[in-house]
Amino acid sequence: MEQKEKISFEKSSIKRKVKSIWDKIKYGIVPFLFLAAANLISWAGNQLFGAIHGAQPNIAIDANIPFVSWFIVFYFVCFPVAVVALFVAFAKNKKRGYDIAFTVTIALLISGLIYLLWPTEFPLEWKYSWLPENMNFFDRWTYSLWHTGKPTCLLPSQHCYFAIACIISVVDSDNMSWWYRVFMIVFNICVLLSTFFLKQHFVLDFVASLAIMTIIYLILRLCKFGDKMDDWVTKREVIKQNKKSTK
């Protein structure tokens, strides 16, 4: 009998923990869907209507950046980590979560327009010049990456968008654990570096991404967008609860 009561207590404890987590992250689902839709529109628009070739916004420093193929690990894990960071941001502070999610969403839509109006690329022949004669696993993986879709979605960089958003999520928040902050900052700095080391982007692509993200985020913060969204969602929930209670 005691064993059954213990199992029952453990199950109810797990349910409470799951519900507690769900109550914190559920507010990030709709913003995440908006963000994902903007990402798809931006990328698909370029693939369907974008130019095959574009300008090369390279500067002198780009030629001195080495090719480091193993950084492709950071490059590919970037998006899953960004999704986790978004929901953690909502769990810790919904207002900042809204600010971050819609900053990235707006930035992605802007980048989609830029890709169509001013296409840029990192020419494949330039990339090939960095490959060693005896390619290892990471070199071949990077080579495959270079042949994925049209190359004219360079400036601004969507990987930089997400990496910058992850860094903002831990810098502009008061209730994050120190190890999570350190991990997010270090990991996403590596993501930013990967865009250079893999010859996917030029330095100016990062500069443009940083400028766009910073301007949008500051505007949303100054307008208290996250606060207003949180108030609106809260009011909607109260209205729904009142309707249920009256039935």
Q: How many helices, marked H, and strands, marked E, lie in the chain?
A: 10, 0
Give yes or no for residue 186 having a pLDDT over 80.
yes
Helices (H), ranges, 50-202 = 72-92, 94-117, 124-128, 137-146, 158-171, 178-197
Q: Can you list the pairs that 217-224 forms with residues at least 24 positions away whose Cβ atoms lie under 8 Å?
A: 217/99, 217/100, 217/103, 217/168, 220/99, 220/102, 220/103, 221/99, 221/172
65-74 mean pLDDT:
95
In this prediction, residue 234 carries a pLDDT of: 84
Summarize pLDDT for 74-103 with one digit per residue, the tens: 999 999 999 999 999 998 888 999 999 999
The closest alpha carbon to 209, from 153, 144, 138, 135, belongs to: 153
Contacts of residue 45, defined as CB under 8 A and 6 or more positions apart, other chains included, come to 112, 115, 116
**Token pair in block for residue 60:** 């002198």
User: Is the pLDDT reported for residue 195 higher than 70?
Assistant: yes
The confidence score (pLDDT) of residue 52 equals: 72
Amino acid present at 196: F
User: pLDDT at residue 125 above 50?
Assistant: yes
Mean pLDDT value across residues 55-63? 87
Mean pLDDT, range 57-66, rounded to an integer: 90
Mean per-residue pLDDT over the chain, rounded: 86
Higher per-residue confidence, 175 vs 247: 175
From CA 206, how far away is CA 210, in angstroms rounded?
6
What's the pLDDT score for residue 236?
Answer: 82
pTM: 0.88
Name the burial class of residue 63, with classes exposed (0-12), middle (13-18) and buried (19+) by CB atoms within 10 angstroms of its CB: exposed
pLDDT of residue 173: 83
Quick one: average pLDDT of 134-142? 93
Residue 117: the pLDDT is 87
Cis ω before 156 (30° cut-off from 0) = yes
Q: What is the mean pLDDT of residues 121-143?
A: 90
- Give the whole-angstrom CA distance, residue 46 versus residue 52: 9
Domain range summary for the chain, segments of one domain joined by +: 68-126+152-230
Percent of the chain with pLDDT over 90: 52
DSSP state string for 77-89 = HHHHHHHHHHHHH
Q: Could you tell me the pLDDT band of residue 9, with boundaries at 50, 70 and 90?
A: very low
Q: What is the mean pLDDT of residues 97-113?
A: 94
Burial annotation 128-155 (CB, 10 A radius, 16+ → b, else e):
eebbeeeeeeebebbeebeeeebbbbbb
CA angle 203, 207, 211 (to 5 degrees): 170
pLDDT of residue 12: 58
Are 139 and 68 a contacting pair, CB within 8 Å?
no
120 beta partners: 55
For residue 154, give Cα distances in angstroms to 73, 158, 181, 197: 20, 8, 28, 14
202, 155 Cβ separation under 8 angstroms: yes
